[in-house]
Amino acid sequence: GQNIDQPTEMTATEGAIVQINCTYQTSGFNGLFWYQQHAGEAPTFLSYNVLDGLEEKGRFSSFLSRSKGYSYLLLKELQMKDSASYLCAVQDSNYQLIWGAGTKLIIKP
């Protein structure tokens, strides 16, 4: 079957660093996405990884290990506006997205 696992909730402090993990088991793999979703709003695209390694984009970085079925999203210099849910999604061989339930990140001052 298809399965994507992420922690349900994490808490971090403003200015700190947090790593959100995602593990997946899917029948096909054509890349992994991270989306940010603020409460009551639509998801917005953050990153896409298809090759192993780290992709850095400002304060956010995303890592992928295909052999381990593992990814993480690293957020640095946390700001209060980073409080949101972070959704991991795998693109299958038909270009459809299989979504995780998301990790709710709570930032404390």
Name the site residues for other proteins (rule: CB under 8 A): 4, 8, 30-31, 33, 40-45, 48, 50, 85, 87, 91, 95-97, 99-102, 104
The first and second tokens of residue 99, run together, are: 């979504």
CB of 45 to other proteins, least distance (A): 5
DSSP assignment of 28-42 equals --S-EEEEEE-TTS-
Residues 6+ apart with CB under 8 A from 55: 47, 48, 49, 61, 62, 63
> Torsions phi, psi of 45, nearest 5?
-65, 130
CB of 28 to other proteins, least distance (A): 13
CB of 100 to other proteins, least distance (A): 6
The first and second tokens of residue 40, run together, are: 């009551």
Q: Which is nearer to other proteins, 71 or 85 (CB)?
A: 85
CB of 72 to other proteins, least distance (A): 18
The rounded distance, in Å, linking the Cα atoms of 54 and 107 is 24
Q: Which is nearer to other proteins, 37 or 76 (CB)?
A: 37
Q: Which is nearer to other proteins, 69 or 100 (CB)?
A: 100
